[in-house]
Structure 1
């Protein structure tokens, strides 16, 4: 009889049976100090953020086993885990603060295995499987010192030999990422991965996507304190929030609160992550809360480590205490419903005017977005009295607020009293940084770049105004686009001059590539809006004309230096975009039905052939983790067969199959695969898949991928 049998007075066989039944019913059991797994996160996809909520019914000693990764020559982690207190939203444990040890087989992988004590309560555990390669492609420096540090760390990894082979080493590394939490007692509850909700919350604008400008109205019925929880992205050098929030009085348009450097704290992760968690007092009235983002570092598209409370990235407003709950209510204030006159989507080098007549005295809301810095406006609007030519209002830099994106993006949002009579709305831009031609981060509400007058009165009727046609007043800089470079080429070939010309070519290519990218994004946001498609067709024609003019001078200089000039990549991209636009109308996007093959599938578009334009629609009744499996064609950083997802209500692109989000799928090098998980909020979505005229299912011009029938895109519920 062995020691265990003597102590427990039974046979080894009986004990084995009992232990087997316990393990079958209750999970893993060990003979000495029984250990129960609360969760075990593994099998991550690139850039995946995963959460697991749990409750401890008593004070507990827990064992943590976690493997992450940190940047080369840096203490900064790019794959790590942490635990939050669900009630206070404070971090109770973080891998970045522990003494991790290096794994023997990889110099970047780090492991922590130890114990910790947590009080009784509700908690959330998070793990972010960051990918330095993907972070680099989505990175915008924005001038801040902390951002520079992040970038240097990321570049150190991206340039490392380990990560130079199409990310192969990283994907092997990622397979070892894990986060396991265990308890000696079974006194816990696993609550799942549903996004957390704050008690008594009234407004929640959270988990925004890139280039968002979200607004919501609420009403305060009595003086009260409200709790604000806002997380955003701050640029130290520009002293502005690239992703931020503010609250204005809906009637006076005065700002009553905003995220500032001085009233926010670091929110974990990258240094640029900042949060506001406090109470403010509001008087009775109607209010608008606004949250904006720039083109990077938002939920499910992080270019650095996310904040430690990522599901609340955005702003949430709640009553300060339950007794105030009935004093703060959501409202359907539509601040942008009654447009009197507008000049928007204004481009470079224009001087525009629009006449309008008011048939009675009115209070109007002036909403103008432009470019300005250091007391001077470069793109701005104004209003003139057409009867006496007097300026009744002009956009001044010191009266504007940050409009999101670059610090020079400025917005004026105020009330103006206008007498009945004739007026002219004016707007003027210089030669750079305007709609469709940004040279820095664009404003969050870029579609309204220009000036708009909204009616303030509730009884406004369109019959009370007369509006004329938009007019261009011309001018020396309104007729053609010019650039700052000038050529002074000596008669004999000059190697230095040749280098400068090549650099000029690269710069022009970069500028036009950015404009093409903006046009393509706008196309994907409104693929079924024929009016928008027609406008985009005109835009691409104008872009081609500008390009041809710019190329004439540059080509002439190349000829003088007796060197060959070509810009095939840019010209090819122009042709591709024009071809896409020509194929975009209601009949070209074929509606396909959501898959009924299995309850696991939400959408399945497979076996896609050449020249396809497919879409389908699906609806989610609650926030859901969704696994995307997309197979397509990509070469030299660009995709030719690919898919994307849009929010049907807003038209915003939620997810897109870009080259750097994918990995080699097997077969030909250009076969690309994305297999990852994203979080989608409650709502209705559209899934699109397009292909070009070659290399698709059953029409391969190179080696097919291992699972060719999956050429397309599918979405499944992630269990």
Structure 2
């Protein structure tokens, strides 16, 4: 006996192996249930044999049986010709369905309903007490002239294969997010073997590779580049190679909240213990030119901004100054649906208040879990100067209170900015708007029914930047500011509705961000609010930068 599985329970996956010292025909005998109708097939137990070296399926019971018309448990015998080699036998009692999309309305000519109804009828037909008793009548036996291998020996063989790989992320369960850095000392072709979950509308358990120095994504597991991996239709496999230049890379793999090695919710793939991603040198002799490194520790050394684990109704900001132009990696997780973002981040130029980057839905991709979990991972070129990064959330679905399945890398919900190739921390400094803002006037965080004023003096003609946030509806402003000549009382500038544009959030949030020229003299800046919708007490969605509800004036260097 080369392998034997008896009296299984429902929803199990078991395996063992065997070695053949010569080519021969082996005999496979099984008892189980399957039914085929109209091109569709339901099998309550399935078995298959895998070549341990190539990982190729050399035989599968569900495909070997052409007709499956009985309405009861039946016993079948198969003759399988195999060459010398090492093989693994898998036996699964998770329902296996193929060809037609299965749903509870699909009309099998005999039983009509889905798997549960099939099992109920089998209990009646087999005259047993319950579903477990049905499965306990199933078995699989493999007979031939060879040596048996236990499940532990199969696992040991897998562990040896993983030890020889550049990267091995295997047997991954639900809610996993794994990163592994690796360095190639010379150009080489690398081979990627990855198993994951996906459908035509997207992938849910999958991996990708980025350049650790530039942040550029160099490879990604996609549905279109994968193929059917056995078992459930959503099991997908990538088995491909590409030329990788010498350099430092990071392999990343993430899973959602269901269907993984720890707990399959439908039929498992042909190679279940390799659920994840394995990377090897195409030429084994090249393996000595590859090594792993701890990516996370290096990544943390290069953090410029870290705003993660942001919860409901969150609003965080962080300023930074770049002493020279540089590239930075911007990584953000947020919530978006139907083309609109609800939890997202953005970056503004601290001097001009112009947005230099924003997390737009069209630039994001699915981040695992619920479809509204969105992710962006990009490298942006920044000029020398000061910037402020922001991240805001709405009132639901954020860390750690999710109203649907959380994303793969849930703890990074927010915005993280890190240095990439050539990064030198001495070229980055913290930026505090209150300390470094160089304001002539800064009236901010204005509340309901508030009126404030400040005066400033210019000794020469000066171009000033006015940045103001207020409330306006139907052409009229309710929270707004203006500037008067302190000597004459003449209004030299006013925040009118026509001069403003949308300031984010509710449509009544209005923003002015532009320059004017003022002559030498003394000026008074005023800001007034009405009795509703202001800082800390919004009656509609807040603006992009709520703490700046008010008005600021600062000189602009025109030199």
CA separation of 1:86 and 1:431: change in aligned 2, threshold 3 A: same
CA RMSD of aligned residues (A): 3.8
Aligned to 1:90: 56
CA separation of 1:429 and 1:70: change in aligned 2, threshold 3 A: farther
Query: How far apart, in 2, do the equivalents of 1:322 and 1:173 lie?
Result: 48
Map 1:14-29 onto structure 2 (within 5 A).
Answer: none
Aligned to 2:416: 452
Q: CA deviation at 1:257?
A: 1.1
Aligned to 2:392: 428
Aligned to 1:275: 237
Q: Are the counterparts in 1 of residues 307 and 416 from structure 2 also a CA contact under 8 Å?
A: yes
CA separation of 1:161 and 1:232: change in aligned 2, threshold 3 A: closer
Aligned to 2:251: 289
Aligned to 1:248: 210
Aligned to 1:298: 260
Q: CA deviation at 1:191?
A: 5.8
Map 1:293-372 onto structure 2 (within 5 A).
Answer: 293-334=255-296, 336-338=299-301, 339-348=303-312, 350=313, 352-358=315-321, 360-361=323-324, 363-372=327-336
- What is the aligned counterpart of 2:115 among 157, 162, 165? 157
**Helix, strand or coil at the partner of 2:215:** coil
The answer to whether structure 1 residue 229 and structure 2 residue 193 are counterparts is yes
The answer to whether structure 1 residue 403 and structure 2 residue 364 are counterparts is no
With CA pairs under 8 Å and 6+ residues apart, which has the higher RCO, 1 or 2? Answer: 2
Aligned to 1:208: 172
Q: CA deviation at 1:95?
A: 1.0
CA separation of 1:72 and 1:265: change in aligned 2, threshold 3 A: closer
Larger proportion of helix: 1
- What is the aligned counterpart of 2:430 among 442, 454, 465? 465
Q: CA deviation at 1:300?
A: 3.0
Q: Are the counterparts in 2 of residues 355 and 422 from structure 1 also a CA contact under 8 Å?
A: no
Q: CA deviation at 1:127?
A: 0.5
Unaligned runs of 5+ in 1: 1-36, 136-144, 477-719
The answer to whether structure 1 residue 173 and structure 2 residue 134 are counterparts is yes
What TM-score does the superposition give when structure 2 sets the normalisation length? 0.66
After superposition, the C-alpha distances for 1:499-535 in whole angstroms (9 at most, x for unaligned) are xxxxxxxxxxxxxxxxxxxxxxxxxxxxxxxxxxxxx
CA separation of 1:130 and 1:318: change in aligned 2, threshold 3 A: same
Map 1:583-598 onto structure 2 (within 5 A).
Answer: none
| Count of aligned residue pairs for this structure pair | 419
CA separation of 1:252 and 1:171: change in aligned 2, threshold 3 A: same
Q: Are the counterparts in 2 of residues 101 and 111 from structure 1 also a CA contact under 8 Å?
A: no
Q: CA deviation at 1:373?
A: 5.2
Q: CA deviation at 1:149?
A: 4.5
Q: Are the counterparts in 2 of residues 351 and 475 from structure 1 also a CA contact under 8 Å?
A: no
CA separation of 1:325 and 1:355: change in aligned 2, threshold 3 A: closer
CA separation of 1:352 and 1:41: change in aligned 2, threshold 3 A: same
CA separation of 1:151 and 1:401: change in aligned 2, threshold 3 A: farther
Query: How far apart, in 1, do the equivalents of 2:67 and 2:447 lie?
Result: 66
Q: Are the counterparts in 2 of residues 242 and 406 from structure 1 also a CA contact under 8 Å?
A: no
After superposition, the C-alpha distances for 1:631-655 in whole angstroms (9 at most, x for unaligned) are xxxxxxxxxxxxxxxxxxxxxxxxx
Q: Are the counterparts in 1 of residues 386 and 431 from structure 2 also a CA contact under 8 Å?
A: no
After superposition, the C-alpha distances for 1:42-72 in whole angstroms (9 at most, x for unaligned) are 2434422111121110111111111233479
Q: Are the counterparts in 1 of residues 172 and 262 from structure 2 also a CA contact under 8 Å?
A: no
Map 1:42-57 onto structure 2 (within 5 A).
Answer: 42-57=6-21
Q: CA deviation at 1:93?
A: 0.9
After superposition, the C-alpha distances for 1:128-166 in whole angstroms (9 at most, x for unaligned) are 12279xx9xxxxxxxxx977549979971225672899x
Larger proportion of strand: 2
- The structure with the larger Rg is 2
Aligned to 2:437: none
Map 1:100-111 onto structure 2 (within 5 A).
Answer: 107=71, 109-111=73-75
CA separation of 1:255 and 1:455: change in aligned 2, threshold 3 A: closer
Query: How far apart, in 1, do the equivalents of 2:409 and 2:265 lie?
Result: 22
CA separation of 1:328 and 1:109: change in aligned 2, threshold 3 A: farther
Aligned to 1:660: none
Q: Are the counterparts in 2 of residues 71 and 78 from structure 1 also a CA contact under 8 Å?
A: no
Q: Are the counterparts in 2 of residues 79 and 128 from structure 1 also a CA contact under 8 Å?
A: yes
Query: How far apart, in 2, do the equivalents of 1:116 and 1:164 lie?
Result: 29
Q: Are the counterparts in 2 of residues 146 and 272 from structure 1 also a CA contact under 8 Å?
A: no
Query: How far apart, in 2, do the equivalents of 1:436 and 1:475 lie?
Result: 30
Aligned to 1:31: none
Q: Are the counterparts in 2 of residues 54 and 192 from structure 1 also a CA contact under 8 Å?
A: no
Q: CA deviation at 1:220?
A: 1.4
After superposition, the C-alpha distances for 1:216-246 in whole angstroms (9 at most, x for unaligned) are 111112111111101111122x2x1111111
